[in-house]
């Protein structure tokens, strides 16, 4: 069983919600990024979303854009991201979802990337700029059954399309709490509950909610409606603030633990 599927099944049996943590691979550098991944897993993060650094991250706000830039300047490449996962897998089994744009994957070789990602220990992939209906027009974009396709659904997605995306989703659905780019510059929408309820009518996988969640109160509120809570930019901001520290993991974990505990207490 895929690690993502197994994790959500275990959480369901325990009556708990998932905490999904996003960080940029290689931010602020390879070794400290690995320490942050291990630290988040040890602190109780249920799923890790690992951003693959890209020079033109159009769906990201400034915090995640700067994280990608720091990682690229530190020497991160697509291959090094897979090395990072492989090193993490030597000690940890927390599920990993690759959060990426199509361009670096296409340049690597779509089919080969998926094979190599699975071999390294990745469990899922969220391709931000490859709509599933367009992917279906070319065999070049065929998926890999061992790398679950996570679907992103916005609150303004037309109902017929949201129904189609929800029905196709694997692993879990990434439901956006609001429109716009990533970042903690806007709080989650007050309509999270109705969005999750609507998606659950058509989905056979858990529904997790992200975008704009930056404190324990918000995380707990979202967790009352969703199967999981996704926090990204607020964590990445901690990396940015402590990028020159020998161990930025300490600050990231101080911040993250309060949110993890809030989600697990719902």
pLDDT in tens, 46-62: 999 999 999 988 888 89
Token readout for 57 is 């991250």
List, by residue number, the catalytic residues: 49, 60
Q: What is the structure's pLDDT at 178?
A: 73
Sheet with strand 124-127: strands edge to edge = 148-149, 124-127, 96-100, 47-51, 18-24, 228-231, 207-210, 173-176, 151-153
Per-residue pLDDT, 116:
98
Please answer whether residues 200 and 209 qualify as being in contact, where contact means their C-beta atoms are separated by less than 8 angstroms: no
**Low-confidence residues of the chain, pLDDT below 50?**
185
Q: pLDDT per residue over 214-261, tens digit each? A: 999 999 999 999 999 999 999 999 999 999 999 999 999 999 999 999
User: What pLDDT does 186 receive?
Assistant: 54
Structure tokens belonging to residue 15: 């009556």
- Compute the C-alpha angle 77/81/86, nearest 5°: 145
**Whole-number Å distance between alpha carbons of 101 and 256:** 26
Topology, domain 3-264:
TIM Barrel (3.20.20)
Tokens of 106: 């296409």
Give the pLDDT confidence score for residue 110 in this predicted structure: 93
pLDDT for the residue numbered 57? 85
The vertex-132 CA angle with 173 and 2, nearest 5°, equals 45
* Res 189: pLDDT: 57
130 — phi, psi (to 5°)?
-125, 90
What gap in Å lies between CA 149 and CA 171, rounded to an integer?
7
SS3 164: helix
Model pLDDT, residue 212 = 86
Domain spans in the chain, listed from the N-terminal domain onward:
3-264
């Amino acid at each position: 069983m895929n690690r993502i599927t197994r994790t959500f099944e275990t959480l369901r049996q325990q009556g708990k919600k998932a905490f999904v943590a996003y960080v940029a691979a290689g931010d602020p550098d390879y070794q400290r990024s690995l320490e942050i991944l291990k630290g988040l897993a040890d602190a109780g993060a249920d799923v890790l979303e690992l951003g693959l650094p890209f020079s033109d991250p159009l769906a990201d706000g400034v915090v995640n854009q700067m994280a990608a830039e720091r990682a690229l300047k530190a020497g991160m490449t697509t291959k090094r991201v897979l090395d990072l996962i492989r090193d993490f897998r030597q000690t940890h089994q927390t599920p990993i979802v690759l959060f990426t744009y199509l361009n670096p994957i296409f340049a690597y070789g779509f089919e080969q990337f998926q094979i190599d990602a699975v071999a390294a220990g990745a469990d899922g992939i969220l391709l931000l700029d490859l709509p599933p209906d367009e992917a279906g027009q070319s065999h070049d974009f065929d998926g890999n059954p061992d790398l679950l396709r996570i679907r992103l659904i916005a609150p303004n997605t037309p109902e017929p399309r949201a129904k189609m995306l929800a029905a196709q989703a694997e692993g879990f659905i990434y439901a956006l709490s609001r429109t716009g780019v990533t970042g903690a510059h806007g709080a989650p929408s007050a309509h999270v509950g109705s969005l999750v309820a609507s998606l659950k009518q058509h989905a056979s996988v858990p529904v997790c909610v992200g975008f704009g969640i930056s404190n324990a109160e918000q995380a707990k509120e979202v967790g009352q409606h969703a199967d999981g809570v996704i926090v990204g930019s607020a964590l990445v901001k901690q990396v940015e603030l402590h990028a020159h520290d020998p161990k930025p993991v300490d600050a990231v974990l101080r911040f993250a633990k309060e949110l993890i505990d809030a989600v697990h207490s719902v």
